[in-house]
Amino acid sequence: MSGRSPQGAERTAARRSDPASRSAPEETPRRAPGPGGTAPATKPRNGTGTGTRRPALLTTALVAVLALLALVSAGTGAYDIPLGDVLASVQHHLGLGGAPLDRVGESVLWNVRLPRVVLALLVGAGLGCAGALMQGVFGNPLAEPGVIGISAGAAVGAVAAIGLGLSFFGNWTITVCAFVAGLITVSSVYLLSRNGGRTEVVTLILTGIAVNAFAGALIGLFVFFADSGQVNQITFWQLGSLAQATWPKVLAVLPCAVAGLLIAPLYSRRLDLLSLGERPARHLGIDVERLRLSLILVVALLTAAAVAVAGVITFIGLLVPHLLRMANGPGHRFLVPGSALAGAVVLVAGDLAARTIAQPAELPLGVLTALLGSPFFFWLLRRTRRKQGGWA
């Protein structure tokens, strides 16, 4: 006879029939077999999935649109040049065949149009990339070089160089002055907008408003004391334009823009870690303050380079990163270089519109971008406020 009592046998049977008393392996749900009797394979998290195809497709599309817009912009204007002739002339100058245009066409294309297209590409790429970096550094979607006063501060440096007749760095004087003023501005905004170890959205915007107002007052003083020639130059910085684009200006801004655009993607992984929060980023080995200081220098370099040759052009750095986030998510590995490409696309298209909408007159490029960007900023402000449940 077994030594187990009837009551013990009943308790054992109850435990076997009770789902709560089963072991962990028995509780683990099993994947239902597929039609062939085998469990369906799971989608890979990395590799050639949709998450890696989409950035490649977006990058290819942006490059194709940018190339097409550049060619169309180079051929469109008061003196129209067919697209095929533009391609033939470019191929001829590159030694790839093709044929040159007539004397007037060559002069218009290579001395007027192409410097302007290349300058729009560099300025747009710099502003778009700077906007993505600013939003990653400050950790909020409303940061942008123009909104928080960096563009205006850099313009003060450029206007001061014009108004005071400074020339201690030759052709680089305006760029250097714009860079120093932009760095001072972004550092001031960063320090004033921090509270309790984090950057508040409202404080950031209000600080930017104050900095923009102060910068406007300084520019007004320089206008008051400037002569007529200097006033025309200062007006150019206030409105933003690429009408005075030349190859020497392209060469002056090229090193700053290229250096900033090459350095920025190197910080993509650290920006992704910083988006988790300051404390988790520190636990993962990120020197947060050093990272922010480095990126602030890069943002000041890109913004100063843009302002030094094109004046104040706002909202590119705010609008472009948000459109890319909507298309591909917040990952900075694509967002930073993608914002540079998309910024170039937006500014080349904006410059083309500024030249052609009101022919024979030309709209100021900074005014046009502000007219289009302001409604987007208003929508974004309301959307952010609604998601956070108010500012209080």
Strands (E), 116-162: none
d(CA 121, CA 31): 52
Structure tokens at 171: 């052709």
Q: Pick from 320, 362, 343: which is nearest to 135 by CA?
A: 320
pLDDT tens digits, the chain, 392 residues: what are they? 444 444 444 444 444 444 444 444 443 444 444 444 444 444 444 434 456 788 899 999 999 999 999 999 999 988 899 999 999 999 988 888 888 888 999 999 999 999 999 999 999 999 999 999 999 988 877 788 877 788 889 889 989 998 888 888 887 788 788 888 888 888 888 788 777 766 666 787 788 889 889 988 998 898 888 888 888 878 877 788 898 888 988 988 898 899 999 999 999 999 999 888 888 888 888 888 788 889 988 998 898 888 888 888 888 988 899 889 888 888 999 999 999 999 999 999 999 999 998 888 888 898 899 888 888 878 877 877 777 665 54
pTM: 0.80
**Block residue for tokens 């190859």:** 247
**pLDDT given for residue 199 in this prediction:** 65
Q: Pick from 302, 264, 309, 301: which is nearest to 119 by CA?
A: 309
Question: What are the DSSP calls for 188-221, one per residue?
Answer: HHHHHTEETTEE-HHHHHHHHHHHHHHHHHHHHH
**CA atoms in the 13 A half-sphere facing the CB of 373:** 25
d(CA 351, CA 366): 10
d(CA 350, CA 365): 7
**Block residue for tokens 């239902």:** 32
**Block residue for tokens 């469109």:** 76
**pLDDT given for residue 340 in this prediction:** 96
Amino acid at 383: R
Question: What are the DSSP calls for 142-190, one per residue?
Answer: T--TTTTTHHHHHHHHHHHHHHTT--TTGGGHHHHHHHHHHHHHHHHHH
